[in-house]
Copies of this chain bind each other. A is one copy, B any other.
Amino acid sequence: MRFEAITIKDIATALGLSTSTVSRALRDSHEISVETKKIVREYAEEHNYRPNPIALSLKEKRSRSIGVVVCEIANSFFSQIINGIESIAYDRGYNVIISQSHESYKREVLDLSYLASRSIDGLLISVAMETTNFDHLKSLHDKGLPIVFFDRVVDDIDTHKVIIDNSTGAYNATVHLMKNGFKRIAIVSISEHSFIAQGRLNGYKKALQDNNIPEDEKLIRYCEHGGQNYEELEQVMDSLFSQKKKPDAVFAGSDTMTMGILRYFKSKKMKVPDDIALVGFSNSENADLLQPALTVIKQPAFEMGKKATELLLKMIEAKRQDKTFENYVLPAELVIRESSEKK
């Protein structure tokens, strides 16, 4: 606060001491007498002195702020993650600067240069779906900026990563559908290049294999933009359901897509689960209130944010940099509801 903020200098002149003495007294240095400390502290307390964080940052060459890049704040999965990030950062006295990439590579590069110019101490990022070139991240990493990836990670940058066990999540969901009698299970996935899509696809395929159901490429579809625009999703769905042998269940690869697909079914008057079953990744708080109540794979978003932040702060505050990095994998939970029940 610039508003008549009291500084160490003010205390010094008021008490007839030097700034260094005041500074030391407040930091409880042994080379200041007990009485002086007491006087200084009381005065500081009384006048509600707070060290100027900006001056400290300048001196310590650290901003005590961390940058966060997500695609969208207004997406329950990411807002829950941010919640987790905040909860740790707040406790440890760090600022959180949030930027959104809106899944755009260009915007992500811009965000990063902005964050770098704000001199962040570390970075938490879930890369945009569009991003296939990681030079902007590599260059920051090479310069020594502590980075922790979460959810959408970059394989060939060596640092901490916090991910969901996408494979097992997808596996469980697929097995669940098969157990409920569905035979032709389609998967609508986000961009094929993405790390996450790979994991989810692998789980899906493994589930088919383990149950001796042959893969059918016609049942595997991708949305390059992750269903951010409904039109893309609609096209993909149209092509999926214009086939002769239609799927009897759909497994949706992201929150936005799960909702989009449900919306698609409604618009086509397809009854879920009677005409078609649906299971999808989703962190919506209200999946139980949907029509039908949706079977979802729920991700521990809050924990993810917490864990990623803890790892980042550990890196930032480490005396010397550690060369061993964690690859923290969180389980995804299958919540079974109506949308996957055969009638």
Contact yes or no, A52 B119, CB < 8 A: yes
Within 8 A of B (CB), among A112-168: 114, 116-121, 143-145
Q: Does A178 contact B (CB under 8 A)?
A: no
Question: Do residues A62 and B259 form an inter-chain contact, with CB atoms below 8 A?
Answer: no
A14 interface residue (CB < 8 Å to B) = no
> Interface-forming stretch among A28-36, A71-79, A169-177?
A71-79
How long is the Cα–Cα vector from A97 to B67 in the complex, in angstroms?
Answer: 11
Chain B residues within an 8 Å CB radius of A289: 259, 262-263, 266, 290-291
Q: Is A318 an interface residue (CB 8 A)?
A: no
Number of interface residues of A (CB under 8 A): 56
**Other-chain contact of A259, B2, B4, B5, B285 (Cβ < 8 Å):** B285
- Return chain B residues, CB-CB under 8 Å to A109: none
Q: Flag if B145 contacts A1 (CB, 8 Å).
A: yes
What's the least CB distance linking A140 to chain B, in Å? 8
| Known A-B contacts A145-B1, A289-B291; A83 and B90 likewise in contact (beta carbons under 8 Å) | no
Q: Does A330 contact B (CB under 8 A)?
A: no
Q: Are B62 and A2 in contact (CB under 8 A)?
A: yes
Q: CA A173 – CA B253 in complex, angstroms? A: 37
On A, residues with C-beta under 8 Å from B are 1-5, 50, 52-55, 57-58, 61-63, 65, 72-76, 79-80, 82-83, 86, 90, 95-100, 114, 116-121, 143-145, 259, 262-263, 266, 284-286, 288-293
Closest 9 CB pairs of A and B: A291-B291, A3-B143, A3-B144, A74-B79, A2-B61, A50-B117, A79-B79, A54-B57, A54-B58
